[in-house]
Chains A and B, each alone.
Chain A
Amino acid sequence: QSVLTQPPSASGTPGQRVTISCSGSSSNIGSNTVNWYQQLPGTAPKLLIYGNNQRPSGVPDRFSGSKSGTSASLAISGLQSEDEADYYCAAWDDSLIGLVFGGGTKLTVL
């Protein structure tokens, strides 16, 4: 049972916009920034979003992050087949005093 809750799966067709949610509490998302990672099959995770909505250099602007209260979302617009991957949210938890990940969402491009 992960501290941050994500839907186990999501799907969309090419060109569509999809969103992935990440639900937490006042001790993690409610108090700290959220980061998102993309893990393509068989590879190491890659930083997608940091500080709720900041994109590292090289990440397409099709990817965007937002946060409201104790929840965060990752939006992917103009969905492409290469976006098929697992997506993880992460945040610092002030109660646990450690970094926690969501359980991950497997995105399928139909």
Chain B
Amino acid sequence: QVQLQESGPGLVKPSETLSLTCSVSGGSISSYYWNWIRQPPGKGLEWIGYIYYSGSTHYNPSLKSRVTISADTSKNQFSLKLTSVTAADTAVYYCARGASLLHVPYFDYWGQGTLVTVSS
């Protein structure tokens, strides 16, 4: 059974960089798409981006200028960096495994999510 677990600071100051790591167990990240998705409190889901097992990345155009997703296959982890954060980036951040059908990714395993608050 694949399991994902997010980790990182729960509080980030405005203008600083949000950094999160997702540790994957029960399967290798050397296949599939590995995604970050967020959900502001009381609101809907927003896809942030993914890193493919080949190392290629794809980001939500609305966040592209501030996002970097990377992977460490030796640790079976992948990470998210979001720069220049504001209060609007306050959200529960989920990592998720993506499979695909007809080139459309779907998320079949999710982490439990971690709340990141942007505040001074």
Within 8 Å by CB of A101, from B46, B59, B112, B113, lies B46
Contact call A100/B47, Cβ cutoff below 8 A = yes
> Does any Cβ of A come within 8 Å of B88's Cβ?
no
| Closest beta carbon of chain A to B83's beta carbon, Å | 19
- Contact size range, B: 20 to 34
User: Knowing A37-B107, A45-B107, A91-B104 touch, does A102 contact B44 (C-beta < 8 A)?
Assistant: yes
Name which of A17-25, A50-58, A68-76, A77-85 contacts chain B: A50-58
Residues on B with beta carbons closer than 8 Å to the beta carbon of A96: 61
Identify the closest chain B residue to A88 (Cβ): B45
B contact patch SS: strand
User: What is the size, in residues, of chain A's interface with B at 8 Å between Cβ atoms?
Assistant: 27
Within 8 Å by CB of B44, from A2, A35, A46, A92, lies A2
Given contacts A47-B106, A92-B104, 8 further A-B contacts (CB under 8 A): A32-B103, A45-B107, A46-B110, A51-B101, A54-B101, A90-B106, A97-B58, A98-B58
**Contact residues of B with A, CB < 8 Å?**
44-47, 58-61, 94, 99, 101-108, 110-113
